[in-house]
Homo-oligomer: A and B are copies of this chain.
Amino acid sequence: MAKNEKMVEQITSMDVDFAQWYTDVVKKAELVDYSGVKGCMIIRPYGYAIWENIQKDLDARFKALGHENVYMPLFIPESLLQREKDHVEGFAPECAWVTIGGGNQLTERLAVRPTSETLFCEHFRNVIQSYRDLPKLYNQWCNVVRWEKTTRPFLRTSEFLWQEGHTMHETEEEAREETRRMLGVYRDFYAETLAIPAVTGRKTEKEKFAGAEETYTIEPMMHNGVALQGGTSHYFGDGFAKAFDITFAGRDNTRCYPHQTSWGVSTRMIGAIIMSHGDDNGLILPPRIAPIQVVIIPVAQHKEGVLEKANAVKEELLAAGLRVKLDDSDYSTGWKYSQYEMKGVPLRLELGPRDIESNSCVLVSRVSREKKFVPLEGLADAVKEALRSVHDELYNRVLENTKARTYEARNFDEFLDIAANKSGYIKAMWCGDTACEDKIKDETGGVKSRCIPFTEEHLADTCVCCGKPAKHMVIWGRQY
């Protein structure tokens, strides 16, 4: 036992070293293992179960809006990737290239897909002939590869899992609507499922996706004030359609180019969950994606009737559709408490002889650590209510942290002062020039525009950097 008891040893405190805290948590909560393959991670059962719950929820949201799943090839021939100029410039430098197959040097090298716009376009060309074939609302769940020098589990890995939606529409208006609609799906998913409220808006010219006309983004703020680009939705116009010669016969029988979107979120979201909700005792999982929502810990389990009752409670909660684990192993109760705290299980249910006598049990919230005595009668409903509370508490905590760490700068000195001394978002006016973004990044050592939010405030008339007339309010911040 001694060896295993050690597993629940102290992790680094968030305030001492946030990066080390993160590394400790992903490892000790058994989310990932490092592999001998540079930059690639092994997602362990507990981590993968989170991803499966994320997939199930998002997939239902996509399908409810009429999207269909497909599967495209892993490889992109170099000539295909080169078809759209901006796109290849953005992605070619971080590609992994297959040059040998079946023992032979290939005549054309193949990129392991970093994203699949080009493959989708090649297919769209085959299946879109008439306005009657539109819209095409496709999505795929797959792995992609983008070569990275420094990597961190979930946040930045050379291979990651994601979904990429690719849609084609008859009109520009419809495509623009889809782009914003899907960002809305992400925003709702973050709020309703991950309990993460987040800033959303439009990327500046400098920060948008390679080949896109417009990129929308969701930018949750992590506990330490650093931003994580949590998902993006792109409007492509008809640029790819022209590059790939995709046309359709319109209602008036003229040849038209369709209008395109793409949108994606990835296993990065698990990084967002960890850094939004976790604390010095480990992970805290939002109940809607937690692989275990309630862990039942029997107290004095050797006493007559305890395990029997614990099993009955488990069956009752399972029957109510909850994800439940009963830990009747011979580890100590204290060890179990720490273990499931580390793993971020939202609720602990303690059940001992005295509880059974009084026909009740104890529910402990992972967030507030508050203990509640709850009657066994009507337990499932009480547990569901407690899970809803955990969700709301998590959501509100992130909201408050984000508010508390969001600052306003009206001139460049203020901006530099905040960037140097605070960690969080800075709201400031901007003239629209990339030069000012570059200058801000250089002088602050890394603060970048996160987005132009959907509702802009008017903080001043002039750009915080150059003093010329301001065009937009931008949210600025450092990023993962």
* Chain B residues within an 8 Å CB radius of A161: 71
Give the docked Cα–Cα distance between A330 and B75 (Å). Answer: 39
The residue that A99 contacts in the complex, of B72, B97, B119, with Cβ under 8 A, is: B97
A147 at the interface (CB under 8 A from B): yes
Q: Indicate if the CB atoms of B80 and A52 lie closer than 8 Å.
A: no
Give the docked Cα–Cα distance between A132 and B3 (Å). Answer: 12
Q: With contacts A101-B96, A149-B102 known, is A37 near B143, CB below 8 A? A: no
Give the docked Cα–Cα distance between A296 and B197 (Å). Answer: 43
Type the 1/0 row for A94-126, where 1 means its CB is closer than 8 Å to any CB of B: 111111111100000110100000010011001
The residue that A112 contacts in the complex, of B48, B74, B119, with Cβ under 8 A, is: B74
Q: Indicate if the CB atoms of B36 and A77 lie closer than 8 Å.
A: yes
Which of A44, A80, A102, A149 has the most chain B CB atoms closer than 10 A to its own CB? A102
- Closest beta carbon of chain B to A148's beta carbon, Å: 8
Q: Indicate if the CB atoms of A40 and B75 lie closer than 8 Å.
A: yes
A319 at the interface (CB under 8 A from B): no
Give the docked Cα–Cα distance between A221 and B130 (Å). Answer: 41
Copies of chain A in the complex? 2
A-B contact pairs, 23 of them (CB 8 A): A3-B130, A33-B127, A35-B72, A35-B123, A36-B80, A37-B110, A40-B74, A42-B71, A42-B72, A42-B119, A44-B70, A44-B127, A45-B69, A45-B138, A48-B69, A51-B71, A74-B143, A96-B101, A97-B100, A99-B99, A99-B100, A101-B158, A103-B147
A43 at the interface (CB under 8 A from B): yes
Q: With contacts A36-B122, A101-B96, A110-B37 known, is A159 near B73, CB below 8 A? A: yes
Q: Indicate if the CB atoms of A45 and B70 lie closer than 8 Å.
A: yes
Q: Indicate if the CB atoms of B40 and A69 lie closer than 8 Å.
A: no
Binding site for B on A (CB under 8 A): 3-4, 33, 35-37, 40-45, 48-49, 51-52, 68-77, 80, 93-103, 109-110, 112, 119, 122-123, 126-127, 129-130, 132, 138, 142-143, 145, 147-149, 158-159, 161
What is the chain B residue whose CB lies nearest that of A73? B40
* Chain B residues within an 8 Å CB radius of A158: 101
For the A-B complex with A3-B129, A33-B127, A73-B159 known, give 16 more contacts whose Cβ atoms are closer than 8 Å.
Answer: A35-B122, A37-B73, A37-B76, A41-B73, A42-B71, A42-B73, A42-B123, A43-B71, A45-B68, A71-B161, A75-B159, A93-B102, A97-B100, A98-B98, A102-B149, A112-B112
* Chain B residues within an 8 Å CB radius of A119: 35, 37, 42
* Chain B residues within an 8 Å CB radius of A147: 101-103
The residue that A49 contacts in the complex, of B68, B98, B148, with Cβ under 8 A, is: B68
Q: Indicate if the CB atoms of A123 and B33 lie closer than 8 Å.
A: yes
* Chain B residues within an 8 Å CB radius of A97: 98-101
- Closest beta carbon of chain B to A156's beta carbon, Å: 13
Give the docked Cα–Cα distance between A95 and B99 (Å). Answer: 11
Q: Indicate if the CB atoms of A35 and B73 lie closer than 8 Å.
A: yes
